[in-house]
Structure 1
């Protein structure tokens, strides 16, 4: 094998055409880098895009039989002026250079099978106990999900990478070929082998590229067999390695079984290395006499000593598959590759089992120390500069300013009394300011600046009405860096809730619209009927009914439009190829039609119609066109009503610091939103959704304040004099 640490040589590319040109062929070289072994990639994120290697210019070198130029070539000679041997077709300014000059070979391309197995020591290091203890995001997520566990990653992309690698291993075992071919556009091509008579360079990058006359580029790579066996050995050793930190911190003693494994580990590793003689295995493979059955019997016995009982059947299946390759077993090389692949799968599952067991044992310790650890990790990542938390300061300061200037009082749900924000003690003021800031941030998420030439795009959406200064700068506050994904989910839910509220309001307006009817003839709506309308909207509407208010609208710079455009047969955003947006318009057309139909039936209870009133349908379409978009006054008004109701739930769930020592959490936190908050607003049909959203936001707020309230209460952090 060749060392990957040596400098990368210039790899020559040769044209294998039998046609001898009368012109001098230029000598071109490409500087390339070796395909790097798997870095310390996340064990749970092994499917991230590979980093492209340094690209070079592809060319050809002159061969011995070429005739040198004696002057200018005649116009009829093949070359760049008339269409070279490597570029067919007439001359054009865009193709003045040979096509190969644009070809870039990337050994890390998805079309090139990996040189190493995708389950390695590095990819499994994220599951080590030390990595778990040093992972702030994992420890923070544990507070929200007590049943959090590691699971094997899955998906089409992973399966494609795995299958590509194992097909390449099997092909090398069966034919000895390690080649992969491309067309000149970099796409996959039927393999053209160059293994015979084309030795690999004796130094890095351990692969060679050959350009054929039929516009095919073949890359010959180094053998995958020895790296595969070497990695298999090292992964086995790392998985069965007894962790010296397996016992939980704070002085808990290790179990006797762990102590036994520690004593047995050296002898087990020694016996494993004896049967894992890589040089001997390579020689046996070259002479086609390698029998993997004995090796996998040893591996199976060793893994059974360390794996959970539920993995025994998978280990036995692996050993049975390898046993087919024994003399007289009738197995093939495909069975040997399958056994190795099964072994890697079992090792990954064993590592997951160990990590989940450690996570379960450490959960009380991690939860108890989460606040101090997160605050310490935050200070280490941000540094001591005041500018590192400038967004957080502005975010809380703006919320404090809004509450100070508001004439509304705050309801104390413990004493059922009203409180004035300005009369609260400092700690309680900061507490309420943080609750208000979090609620505003969920309802009005920060919008990144859309850079369009010649267009002044605001950094905040036009939907803002009052109290939006807390999110005037793009990006979330620094102290929410572990909760941004949760904040995004909550923001999408609030957009959906606002859209539901608007559609219910549309139904009310259609039913009670003035059309010459007397008050006695006006339909009377009850809560049960409104709940039924809500369910129908939920069933008919799109998956994200509030998509028109979401961050994607602003991130893509969508123009202000609405559902009615597509209702009339138009597709205003067809050029954007936005499938989700087109689907939203199509579903909203059905929702508006159903609302108009139900409103028509409510206005004519004695003679149920078979179709909606045309005038009412046009009115509903115009209403949607004017209001179901960011920036409309009605959408801002109704969103603020929903926000106030959710804020009341958050206050009832997150106790004041001065009350936490003497007051316990209500025994039934889901007793409902107070009627005083919902009455007169039309939010009664959405009471359950408001309660659920408020409880989720309150949980996030309590965890956040448990960590960062000491920082917010530091002298000089906030100016509470205003």
Structure 2
């Protein structure tokens, strides 16, 4: 092994060969989440697509799970390297095994084949899932795994020719922007497999690049399909989700605690002290208003007793992000109130200009940095730096030279911390009183809008970032907007997003959980169920016949020029698989192409 310099590297290869996984990190099965039939039955993606202009799939490589995947991947490719070295020793080693009195090397070869055949199988299977049917025979001919392993055994396998053929096929079907990646993969194979001595490390690097390229192509295809199907998916949101949830109720597979959701709604009605409206006024509007008020109240509340029920499970990430943004906005307003008080104490009691607000807001945002979105403790932690900057800008605006004494800085910091602790609730109440009318106005304006109209009216494009388009940022608090937008702009944005969540949720869940139709065409509130023990499980007979889920739909064929027509018939039914760990759809949450 000339490319290895010490025993530790050789031992690492041996350990990986013994213990690493047999399958490559990317397989046809792991990529099956990106197949069209799984996309259109993925309930989370179908809900998320309503809220993001740039929703797409991306590899889920973040956090501890991503680090674990990276470790397993590294072990696998080391093990593949070791296996290729073992093949070389079996057939080209000195002295030859046959002349050394050992058994036929073919016996050892059969036992050594742990990973190389499976790499070829993976390339074969994923390629066939990416190319049209007319190219399947070509793939079968060039990637005949049994034939390739026989060629390796006889020492006549031309890996360069195999990779060059694969590259030509990839270039026929992938975007031109990927050509450089493909050429790099071919160049590595030529470098590693040409000459008197094979460099297994470089050969494995080429195969790793090829597998990665296949994953990227699969992602490109999936994201292209999402873009093409997005109008259909959005327009069918309410119908599909109703059928989906009712289907799971019938099959007793729902994870939603309906009794708890009904108790929550009954408590909302009781708390807001809103009774049935006169017969001349539909209760639906009043119920929707109460529902919106409950959601807004939850966004501002720190009371865990007001947590939203399981029916919101598809919106939990969005609601947490909204709550974090609101909490940060409240802390910003507390900082501004302190700034105004300091200016008055310094004798500068004039109206605060937009330029001054922007200057202070940008400075505070820079101090908080990535701490924005991490709750009140992050503001407490940064209070010393925040109070120093507020004090400095107040002095400058009052026409004084910034002078900082230890006592004044300590007092300023303690004052800001006390404001955070003691005035958060009052500032939050003021902001809630400002935001709620905007939410109700938006809801009334769009009460009769279709899901597509809601999407076009209420979803805005995210700010530009340096993140590659196929790996969008996760759904966290947007520091760009904090820096560039006024508080009024932020509240308008929050009102749009909250009203969008409220309108979709109410239309989907109200007839299932919160309200029921009566003969007059109006709605009445479902009675609050008794506390546990829970009521008997819901059966098919409790669901109106008109709402019964349709029979299972046929599996959607691979993408073709006319596949959209067949997809529509599948979109109104189907049971989504549990979300996999390999990919995520992201809201900008595979998680999050333009």
TM-score w.r.t. structure 2 length?
A: 0.65
In structure 1, how many angstroms separate the alpha carbons of the residues matched to 2:186 and 2:273? 72
The offset of 1:122, in angstroms, is 0.9
Partner-residue secondary structure (3-state), 2:50: helix
Partner-residue secondary structure (3-state), 1:714: strand
* Correspondent of 1:162 among 67, 73, 78: 73
The answer to whether structure 1 residue 277 and structure 2 residue 147 are counterparts is yes
The offset of 1:234, in angstroms, is 2.5
Partner-residue secondary structure (3-state), 1:350: helix
Aligned to 2:214: 347
**Alignment check: 8 A CA contact 1:502 1:638 kept:** yes
* Correspondent of 2:129 among 238, 261, 264: 238
Q: Note closer, same or farther for the CA distance 1:641–1:296 as it changes in structure 2 (3 Å cut).
A: same
710-719 or 642-651: bigger deviation: 710-719
* Correspondent of 2:260 among 387, 391, 403: 391
Aligned to 1:267: 137
The answer to whether structure 1 residue 172 and structure 2 residue 83 are counterparts is yes
The offset of 1:530, in angstroms, is 4.3
Aligned to 1:364: 231
**Correspondence list, 1:105-254, <5 A:** 112-152=19-59, 157=67, 158-175=69-86, 223-240=114-131
In structure 1, how many angstroms separate the alpha carbons of the residues matched to 2:160 and 2:368? 58
Q: Which has the higher helix share?
A: 2
Aligned to 2:506: 705
309-318 or 500-509: bigger deviation: 309-318
The offset of 1:480, in angstroms, is 1.1
In structure 2, how many angstroms separate the alpha carbons of the residues matched to 1:270 and 1:290? 16
Q: Note closer, same or farther for the CA distance 1:301–1:688 as it changes in structure 2 (3 Å cut).
A: closer
**Alignment check: 8 A CA contact 2:439 2:495 kept:** yes
The answer to whether structure 1 residue 492 and structure 2 residue 492 are counterparts is no
* Correspondent of 2:364 among 537, 542, 547: 537
**Alignment check: 8 A CA contact 1:542 1:588 kept:** no
Q: Note closer, same or farther for the CA distance 1:506–1:685 as it changes in structure 2 (3 Å cut).
A: farther
Partner-residue secondary structure (3-state), 2:57: coil
**Alignment check: 8 A CA contact 1:537 1:591 kept:** yes
* Correspondent of 1:640 among 429, 434, 441: 429
The answer to whether structure 1 residue 433 and structure 2 residue 290 are counterparts is yes
- Structure having greater relative contact order (Cα 8 Å, sep ≥ 6): 2
Q: Deviations over 1:342-396 (max 9, x none)?
A: 3212221222222223222222221111111112222334557998223332333
RMSD of aligned C-alpha atoms?
4.3
**Correspondence list, 1:479-558, <5 A:** 479-512=311-344, 523-528=349-354, 529-544=356-371, 547-549=374-376
In structure 2, how many angstroms separate the alpha carbons of the residues matched to 1:596 and 1:545? 21
**Alignment check: 8 A CA contact 1:150 1:356 kept:** yes
**Alignment check: 8 A CA contact 1:496 1:546 kept:** yes
In structure 2, how many angstroms separate the alpha carbons of the residues matched to 1:546 and 1:302? 46
**Alignment check: 8 A CA contact 2:188 2:203 kept:** yes
**Alignment check: 8 A CA contact 1:293 1:319 kept:** yes
The offset of 1:613, in angstroms, is 6.9
**Correspondence list, 1:595-634, <5 A:** 595-600=390-395, 605=399, 608-612=400-404, 617-629=409-421, 632=422, 634=423
Q: Give ranges in structure 2 of 5+ residues lacking alignment.
A: 1-14, 90-99, 104-109, 460-484, 518-523, 529-594
Partner-residue secondary structure (3-state), 2:382: helix
The offset of 1:134, in angstroms, is 0.9
The offset of 1:236, in angstroms, is 2.5
Q: Note closer, same or farther for the CA distance 1:331–1:650 as it changes in structure 2 (3 Å cut).
A: same
**Alignment check: 8 A CA contact 2:238 2:508 kept:** yes
The offset of 1:503, in angstroms, is 1.6
**Alignment check: 8 A CA contact 1:507 1:595 kept:** yes
The offset of 1:623, in angstroms, is 2.9
